[in-house]
Copies of this chain bind each other. A is one copy, B any other.
Amino acid sequence: MSLSSIPSDELAPADRRRQQILAAARRAFTRSGFHGASMHQVCAEAQMSPGAVYRYFPSKDAIIEAIAEEEQVAAGACMAALFGEGDLVDRMTTVAMDYLRAARDSETGGLLVEICSESLRNTTVGARFYEIQKGVRLALHTALEQAQAQGELRQDAEIDVILTLLFAIGDGLMMRLQIERDIELDSVEPYLRRMLSALVGKERP
C-alpha cells in the first residue's frame, strides 16, 4: 500500500508534507509534462518554498522516482486481482476496469497519459516507467501461463502476441477515455469482456 492511499490526517507531519509535494508534482507533470514542468512550478503548485521542498526531495528526478515507486505499488495491487479465484476473463476484466477507472479520475488520469507517452520515448524517465511496465507484463505472463497449464487458455496461444494486444488495448482505451468524456465506462465493460474472451478464449483464432 502506498502512502497516498492513507488518509492524510493519519500521517505524521513529515509524511503529510511529502505527500503534499507529490500530489502537487503530479498536477504539474500532468499539465506540463515531466520535462516541461520545473521545480519552481512544483513549489508553486504545492504552495511551499523551494527550501521546504528541497528538504524532502533534492531534485526533480527524486520526485519522479518517488512517483514511479507509487505507481509500482499501485500496479502490483492491481495485478494481485489477476491471481484470485474464478474465471480468467472475469479477473482480467476486473483488472482492466480498475485501471480504466483510474484513467478517468481527474486527479490521476492525466498523469497516466504522460507516463504512457514518456515510456514510449527513449529517455531516462521513460526507461524508469517502462521498467514498471515490464513488471506488469511479467505478472500478466505468469497469469496466462498458469491459465494455459489449467486449460483456461488454449495450448497453441502465443502469450507474447496476446500480451502485446492486451497492452495496446490498455494504452489505447486509457487515452481514448480521457478525450471521449461522453462514453460511459459501464457501457464499455461488456464489449471489453467479449474482446478479452476472444483474445484468450479456448477456440483457435
Contact = CB atoms under 8 A, between A and B. Distances in A.
Interface residues of A, number: 36
A190 B199 CA distance: 10
A187 to B, nearest CB: 5
B205 A198 contact: no
A197 B195 CA distance: 8
A135 interface: no
Given A194-B201, A194-B205, A195-B195, 6 more contacts: A113-B120, A161-B187, A164-B183, A168-B176, A168-B177, A194-B198
A160 B169 CA distance: 17
Contacts of A146: none
Interface in A38-60: none
Interface of A: 113, 117, 120, 158, 160-162, 164-165, 167-173, 175-180, 183, 187-188, 190-195, 197-199, 201, 205
Contacts of A171: 171-172, 175-176
Contacts of A198: 194-195, 197-198
Contacts of A167: 172, 176
A176 to B, nearest CB: 4
Contact of A205 (B168, B176, B191): B191
A105 B167 CA distance: 21
